[in-house]
Structure 1
């Protein structure tokens, strides 16, 4: 098969650039889809990141309702196998329990994605129900990091992170209930924005009230792709429980200007959690970069009751996942999760959370409120809060303590161990504030290290504006211009 571009050329194009070529008549959406499918075939054997390519949509990009007049004009796109559904397509949620499950209709956001001109050509891997830190159950998938295939991509947007980093597609769908966009973006060298509440809808199955901490988004390799994705896909479905807001100008316009000089807080000493020294050094280095761009930078610790916040977040996770699993069991006429179809920790989470009381949830919500107000007060004094994306180095594959395959009998102890690793991302979900992982650092073992910027609710545009300023200062060379070992430009056909 003759492809429209060389692999070097394909890699140099982000989604905005590909859409521009389509509008100029230089390539067609079908040619882009064919190239993306070939890129997946070229990289996926080493990464195990894509579950399925929709060959019928590759052949006919209009088949499922993609609007070629949308902003992305037919750019290929992959959907995480969790969250928004695709009409008539399988959604198996990383679980043997859901093997073969076919969705009856498109979710609201799926429709927005299609209207944006993104051509959904396949689905990417996720851990079971998106619960743990790595898509790593050999019975389903073992997704590998393209920078070093002996390491995890982290999760839960595992396959998306690997495919964007490997250059197969310029951007791809991701979800985030505690860091699942930002963490895998950070350890795979991508950009990953978790938007504020009131940006991307989780309708019709959930709302921002019932989902509470979960949101949608994407990973990309350029700021303008993420900005255009948000511009094109934002907005609430009819019947939302809270207002959905629109910024005064599109982010695609805003990012063309540098932000004003900002007050930036560097931080990593959050309650019981500390980043390893190599990550602190990387954060400090990025702080100096930002000072060079004219920003004021200091070390600051937010005045937050971190222990109470993480305990409440743990209660939220246990009770939310228990109800998620219960809903799937009802669909199948089952009374409890079968041990041969559901991973051990998810069974224990169901057991721990299925009979939670309203009083437990009310106490949790009270802490959510207190923590949210504390972060709100912090962002009255500081524009940006900067942390490493994780506190600990990315583990090699097979590190079961972070997996829902773990044999840890204590659910809360298992979550507490997760927080030691993922110390800096979950509380933005609790507060509904935006967080952006930028590929600015490097771990001692060679994997990328994302540096996370957070700001007040509805400050998504400021995060993207700062990232665009950094991107220009780096001449677009995120990750110091390095490429991962598994990449479309160097993979063996």
Structure 2
């Protein structure tokens, strides 16, 4: 098969550039899909990033419901195998229990994605129910990091992270309940925005109130692609429980201008949690870059009861996941998750959270409120909080302590251990504030290290403006212009 572009040429295009070439008549959506499919064939045996390609969507993007006149003009897109559903397509959620599960209807966001001109051509990997830090269960699949296949991508948007990083495609779906967009973006050198509440709908299965911490988004390699995705796909479904907000101008226009001079707080000593010294040094280096762009940068920590906040976040996860698992098990006519089909920590979460009382949830919500107000007060004085994306280095493949295949008998201890590593991302979910991971640092292992910027509610545009300013300052060369060892343009 003759491809529309060389792999080096393909890897130099972001989604916006590919869409421009379609509109210019230089390439067709079907040719873009064929090239992506060839990219999957090239790297997926090594990375295990893609669960399935939809052959019909590759062959004929318009038959897939893609609006090729939309802003993305038929650019290929993978849907994480969790969250938004596609009518009649498999959605197996990284779980043996859900093998063969087909969605009865499209979700609202799936319709927005297709209307935007993104051609959903397949599914990317995720850990079981999106509940842990890595898509790493040998009975299902083991997703590997393109920068070094001995390491995980982190999670839970594992396959998307690997596929975008390896140059298979320039944009792909991700979800985030506590860092699952930003943490894998940080470990694979991608851009990952977790938007504010009230941006992307999760209808019809939940709302921003019932989901509480879960949010939708994407991975990209350029800021303008992220901006265009938010512009095209934001908005609530009819009858949303809470209002959805709109920005005063499109982010695609906004990111062309630099932000005003900002007050930026470097921060990593969050209660009991500290980043390793090398990560602190990389955070300082990012701070110096921002200082050189005219921003005011200093060290500061929000006055938050971090122990209470993480305890409340744990209650939220345990009770939310327990109900998710219970709904799936019940729909299959089962009374409990089968031990041979559901990973052990997910069974323990189901047991621990199924009968969470309203009183416990009310206490949790009171802490959510207090924490959100504390961050809000801090963000009246500071415009941006800058942290490393994680406190500890990305684990090697086979590190089970963060996985739901762990033999840890204590669910509370399992979550407490999770927070020691993934300390800086979950509280933005709790507060509903936006946060973005930018590929500005390096780990001692040679993997990328994302630097996270967070800001006040509905400040998504400001984060993207700052990211675009940095992108211009470095000549567009995220990751110092390097590519990972496993990449479509290698070999």
Global fold match (TM > 0.5): yes
SS of the residue corresponding to residue 16 of structure 2 reads helix
Residue of structure 2 equivalent to 1:288: 288
After TM superposition, list the pairs within 5 Å mapping 1:102-141 onto structure 2. 102-141=102-141
Residues in 2 aligned to 1:57 and 1:292: alpha-carbon distance in whole angstroms: 46
Cα distance in 1, alignment partners of residues 314 and 33 from structure 2: 41
CA distance in 2, matches of 1:338, 1:239: 36
CA displacement 1:420-465 (0-9 Å, x = unmatched): 0000000000000000000000000100000000000000000000
**Residue of structure 2 equivalent to 1:388:** 388
Which residue does 2:18 correspond to in 1?
Answer: 18
Native 8 Å contact 2:127 2:135 kept in 1: yes
Report the secondary structure of 1:310's partner residue: helix
Partner of 1:313: 313
CA–CA separation in structure 2 for the residues paired with 1:84 and 1:138:
25
Over aligned residue pairs, what C-alpha RMSD do you find?
0.4
Task: Write the deviation string for residues 192-229 of structure 1: whole angstroms up to 9, x where unpaired.
Answer: 00000000001000000100000000000000000000
- Rounded Cα–Cα distance in structure 1 between residues aligned with 2:357 and 2:215: 25
What is the rounded CA distance, in whole Å, between the counterparts of 1:88 and 1:338 in structure 2?
Answer: 25
Structure 1: how far apart are the matches of 2:200 and 2:141?
Answer: 28
- The 2-side partners of 1:230 and 1:165 are apart by 20
Cα deviation for residue 241 of structure 1 reads: 1.3
Which residue number in structure 2 is paired with residue 47 of structure 1?
A: 47
Structure 2 residue 173 is the aligned partner of structure 1 residue 166: no
Q: 2:5 — aligned with what? A: 5
Report the 3-state secondary structure (helix = DSSP H, G, I; strand = E; otherwise coil) of the residue aligned with 1:149.
coil
CA drift of 1:275 comes to 0.1
Match of 1:365 in 2: 365
What does residue 256 of structure 2 align with? 256
CA contact under 8 A between 2:263 and 2:382: conserved in structure 1?
A: yes
SS at match of 1:145: coil
Q: Which residue of 1 aligns with 2:443?
A: 443
**CA shift for structure 1 position 117:** 0.1
Helix, strand or coil at the partner of 2:150: strand
Q: Tell me which residue corresponds to 2:198.
A: 198
Q: Distance in 2 between matches of 1:190 and 1:466?
A: 16
2:460 corresponding residue in structure 1: 460
Structure 1 runs not aligned, ≥5 long: none
Quick check: 1:77 aligned with 2:77?
yes
Aligned to 1:28: 28
1:299 and 2:299 matched: yes
Map residues 291-440 of structure 1 onto 2, 5 A cutoff. Answer: 291-440=291-440
* Distance in 2, Cα, partners of 1:105 & 1:358: 31
C-alpha deviations, 1:254-282, integer Å up to 9, x for none?
00000000000000000000000000000
Describe the SS at the equivalent of 1:350.
helix
Aligned to 2:482: 482
Large movers: runs of 4+ above 6 Å: none
Q: Secondary structure, in 3 states, of the residue corresponding to 2:129?
A: helix
- 2:118 equivalent to 1:152: no
Aligned length: 491
Structure 2 gaps, min length 5: none
Show the counterpart of 1:212.
212
Q: Which residue of 2 aligns with 1:272?
A: 272
Distance 1:13 1:104 in 2: 35
TM-aligned CA deviation for residue 64 of structure 1 = 1.9
- For residues 332 and 395 of structure 1, the distance between their equivalents in structure 2, rounded to whole angstroms, comes to 35
Residue 242 of structure 1: CA displacement? 1.1
Distance in 1 (CA, whole Å) between partners of 2:68 and 2:401 is: 45
Name the CA distance, whole Å, in 1 between partners of 2:242 and 2:75: 31
SS at match of 1:96: coil
Tell me, what secondary structure is at the counterpart of 2:149? strand
Measure, in 1, the Cα distance between the counterparts of 2:227 and 2:440: 19
* In structure 1, distance between residues paired with 2:63 and 2:374: 48
Separation in 1, partners of 2:91, 2:227: 27
SS in 1 for 2:360: helix
**Counterparts of 1:194 and 1:250 in 2: how far apart (Å)?**
17
| Per-residue deviation, 1:105 | 1.1
What is the alpha-carbon distance in structure 1 between the residues aligned to residue 277 and residue 61 of structure 2? 48
Distance in 2 (CA, whole Å) between partners of 1:121 and 1:195 is 24
